[in-house]
Structure 1
Amino acid sequence: MRSGNEPVTARSPLRLRLWLSVWGLIWAVGGAAVFSMVGRSGWAAACAALALIVAVDLVLVVRHIRQGPHWQPGPDIPPYEPPHR
């Protein structure tokens, strides 16, 4: 159902964001491990920093999923009305 106000009331696809975060965390940790083994400390630090950012995002996504339908409404919940300014 389209209401015409989707940009204002967009809903985040949290499950997709969860799996993309898991995928990114695997690659960032793997990159940090490989770069540290071959002696590239700068790249290892960059991958480790990215892994930390992805881990924080992963925690927030899981928190929002556990908060229930307010954060991830299903198809039975109608779109939110845009705020009146």
Structure 2
Amino acid sequence: MRLTAAALAFALLATPALAADTEGKITAVDRENMTITLQDGSTYRLPPEMDASAVADGMDVVIAYRVNEDGERQITDMLLPE
């Protein structure tokens, strides 16, 4: 029984953060909390080193992100198509 529990715990710890990508139009920018919201209602956290003034409502974006252990979507890369 202990071996099964240990194997399960190890498998959960070894699981990488979920990574994905999406695109859409920004409908809200929260510079205080460093987040953006897209037209589908999904919220994404901007990287701490990013200048939040570079993004604005109405911009189309392509985002690569990962879901952290708290279920928060953390942007890892962002493209602002022209």
| TM-score range normalised by the length of the shorter chain | under 0.3
Q: Which has the higher contact order (CA 8 A, sep 6+)?
A: 1
**Greater strand share, structure number:** 2
- Rg comparison, structure with higher value: 1
TM-score, normalising length from structure 2?
0.27
TM-score, normalising length from structure 1?
0.26
**Greater helix share, structure number:** 1
